[in-house]
Structure 1
Amino acid sequence: MAEEGLRQIQALYAIEAELHGLPPERRHAERQARSKPLLVALRDWMEAQRRRPSGKSDLGKALQYALGRWDALMRYLDDGQLSIDNNLAERLLRGITVTRKNFLFLGGDTGGERAAVIYTIAETAKLNGHNPEAYIATVLDRLAKGHLASRINDLLPWNLSPEAQAVAVG
């Protein structure tokens, strides 16, 4: 039973491998056409199988876990920018986790929350081809020079090209 479930999941990852590097609109369309039917079949299969193993077995727990988070899994179908899993986020957080003890004295919960926001901005900037320090400096500079709050989306890492950043900082 586990092998069958893995085979179905591997088919989804094979599609994602083919879609890697395509524009988000194309990935969205391909996922709707190719991945969605496979996910519907997987869910039907999981629903049919979930009573077979004991609920206390590893396989039973895995089926319940997956079905309990099904809506979250399906979310990637609707946005070509999302990944099928959170492996990238896990890798990006590894560095922060390793230095967690260094952050114990950030001034309490508020300081920790602020640090989390800054790390999120820095990592998102990196993912979008920016030097995080230069990106943050550019955003702060533009905000200080009166950037309109109604146009704040223009400063998001995926909307601000690294070239525009270089011009603004340089």
Structure 2
Amino acid sequence: VPLRLLDGFEGVLQTDGYAGYNRVCRENTITRIGCWDPARRKFVEASKAAPTKKKGTKVSKADVAIGKIRKLYAIEKRIKDLPAAEKTQQRQQLAQPVLDDLKAWLEKNSTRVPRDSLTYKAIQYTLNQWDLLTGYCQDGKLHISNVLAENAIRPFAVGRKNWLFADTPRGAKASATV
């Protein structure tokens, strides 16, 4: 499906880790970059699944990763109104050290968590997607996240699920009217 939909497209494609985009990017002149939202979401899920923390206990590894990723988003918030060239420079100066620290932390901790844990899966996802996730730093016109595109299509995704319940033509017409 991505091959058909993106036939003839040239430019930058920002996606999650879905492997279906690999072929279309190889066969067309498409540069692929990643989106930090799915990586961050995996750590949030791992944090929520962790045992309840008691006062005075150490922060979970998932929470540490979330804190590091949060720094990247904070940098983006600070530089959002800058011209593209200046954004690129600021990312190299401010985000690159955070990214270097995060990668070193991920590599160090990938062997310190159980292989069947959500934290391990989040770490592996992030490391496997690393080159794509850091692609936004190369060009100030790119974004850390594709949330704008996701928000634009959300009504269709939600609607698609709702439309499945229109089991009669009359019910479908009533749903469409509403």
**TM-score, normalization: structure 1?**
0.56
* CA deviations over 1:117-163 (Å, ceiling 9, x no partner): xxxxxxxxxxxxxxxxxxxxxxxxxxxxxxxxxxxxxxxxxxxxxxx
In structure 1, runs of 5+ residues without a counterpart are 102-170
User: Is 1:56 aligned to residue 112 of structure 2?
Assistant: no
Once the two structures are superposed, the pairs formed by residues 26-65 of structure 1 within 5 Å of their partners are 26-65=86-125
Number of residue pairs the alignment of both structures matches: 104
Once the two structures are superposed, the pairs formed by residues 143-162 of structure 1 within 5 Å of their partners are none
Pick the aligned partner of 2:127 from 67, 86, 94. 67
Equivalent position amino acid for 2:152 in 1? L
Structure having the larger proportion of residues in helix? 1
Q: CA RMSD in A?
A: 2.1
User: Which structure: larger Rg?
Assistant: 1
SS of the equivalent of 1:7 reads helix
Equivalent position amino acid for 2:73 in 1? Y
Q: Identity of counterpart residues, as a percentage?
A: 39
RCO higher in structure (CA 8 A, sep ≥6): 2
Structure having the larger proportion of residues in strand? 2
Question: In 2, distance between residues paired with 1:19 and 1:97?
Answer: 31
Question: In 1, distance between residues paired with 2:98 and 2:67?
Answer: 11
Once the two structures are superposed, the pairs formed by residues 12-23 of structure 1 within 5 Å of their partners are 12-23=72-83
**TM-score, normalization: structure 2?**
0.54
In structure 2, runs of 5+ residues without a counterpart are 1-60, 162-178
Question: In 2, distance between residues paired with 1:54 and 1:28?
Answer: 37
Once the two structures are superposed, the pairs formed by residues 1-170 of structure 1 within 5 Å of their partners are 1-100=61-160
